[in-house]
Every structure is written in structure tokens, then in C-alpha cells.
Amino acid sequence: MEAVVLAGGKGTRLRSIIHDIPKPMALINNKPFLEYIFRFLEKNGVTRIVLSVGYKWEFIQKYFGNRYNDIVLIYSIDNEFYETGGALKNALSKVISDEIYVIHGDTYFDIDLSSIVLVKDSMICLSLKYMTECDRYGCVEQNKSGYVKKFTEKKYQKEGYINGGIYFLRKNIFDGFILNNKFSFENFMEDNLKNLKITAQVFDAYFIDIGIPQDYEKAQLDKYITFIE
């Protein structure tokens, strides 16, 4: 099994806390957050990871090298900061499998990866988490057949289903599209709902996003993640 981890973020909103290191290297219980993601992927049977890196990527390579336990680490270096879409497009060129898991390097969503299913006509399946008071996140709406019909912008909503930051997609997802090097993967999905036939599955599992100081501090105190072995 193979995965792409999007680990190129600068962590601008965490700069006062983590200073001059890549966001996925922010320490949680004295270990880089990225290590918890590797442990999660290892638990789910992943043996090869393509790391999409950018900002200060040398910190990541120096710390982890080319292996994490039995997982082979491949580096896809984005020195131009192509955003999530461009970075993912580059990383997919290093992928071997026809179907691949993609994970954001600043979120931990403890789902069973084998439970994510790609239906025949879909190019991508999203993992969703039910959330209340979800003003930090946009929400995802599905039809009765499980296909995504709408992405809503970030605004206060009493409840909704948010993107959990884990995707299962086909390697050729970008084939047939004329794209700039720099583009947002989230915008790409929103703009091509019908062509991609996006599906989504809801998971009731532990979720944490360290993208803002409040949630980063929460992760420091959260026994669920700090005691993961």
C-alpha cells in the first residue's frame, strides 16, 4: 500500500510557536507531528510514502532519512510552493500504484484506510468527520447515493460534515485537465465535481488538526495522540 503525505506547509499561523520549521515537524509530546502520521500509516499497512515537501524540507529529510521502520520514504520536492494541487500533481509522478491514499501533514484522522472505497465511476473518495460549531472548516454535502453535491465555504455552521484530510484517489485524477503548476486541490475538486464524480464516506473517529495555535496546544494535552505507539 502506498500514500502521499502533503507536508510542504509553512505553518504561518503557528509561526509564533514553532518558529522556523515545517509545520508537520511541530513537536507533540517531544515527537514531530509527522511521526504520528507515519505510525498511523504503518498501522494501516502502508509500506511506501511519497512525501510532498517544500518549506524547509531539509529538516524533514535530516530527521527521518529515507525510511521509517519498514516504510520507504520518497521525497517530492516543491521549491516553487505550488499549493496543494500542484504539489500533489508532482508527487503523483513518483507514485507506483494506480490508486493512492493522500493525507494532509497537519491533520490526524484515525480511520481504517481499508474502509475507504472507490466506486467504479469515481476518481476520488473523501473522508468526512461530523462536527458541531464548525466555523473553522467548510462543509461537504452529499446526495443520497453518496456523491458530493456541494462544498460550502468556511463560515459558522451549527453542524456539518467536514473534510477529514484523507483521500483515496486514482493516480490519473489530473489527466485530461489543463492546469497551471500552482493551484489548490480543494478548488480543483470544487470546480470539477461532475467530471470527478466525487464520493465521500463518514467516519466516527478521532480527529485533530494542528493548523492553529489553539488546536496545536490541544494536541499537546490530548492523551489520544500523545500515547499512540
Q: Is 202 helix (H, G, I), strand (E, B) or coil?
A: strand
Kindly state the cell numbers that stand for 211.
493548523
Q: Model's pTM, two decimal places?
A: 0.90
The pLDDT, as a whole number, for residue 223 is 65
The pLDDT, as a whole number, for residue 54 is 84
The pLDDT, as a whole number, for residue 94 is 96
| Rounded CA separation 197/189 (Å) | 10
The pLDDT of residue 229 is above 60:
no
Is residue 76 within 8 A of residue 60, CB to CB? The reply is no
| Rounded CA separation 144/167 (Å) | 20
The pLDDT, as a whole number, for residue 23 is 82
**How many helices (H) and strands (E) are present in the chain, helices listed first?**
8, 14
pLDDT tens figures, 173-189: 999 898 888 899 999 99
pLDDT tens figures, 11-58: 565 555 666 778 888 888 888 989 999 999 999 999 999 999 988 889
Q: How confident is the model at residue 154 (pLDDT cuts 50, 70, 90)?
A: confident
Is residue 74 within 8 A of residue 2, CB to CB? The reply is no
Level-2 CATH architecture, domain 2-226 = Alpha-Beta Complex (3.90)
pLDDT tens figures, 77-110: 987 777 889 999 999 999 999 999 999 998 899 9
**Side-chain-facing half-sphere of 155: CA atoms under 13 Å:** 3
Please, which residues bridge with residue 3 across strands? 49, 101
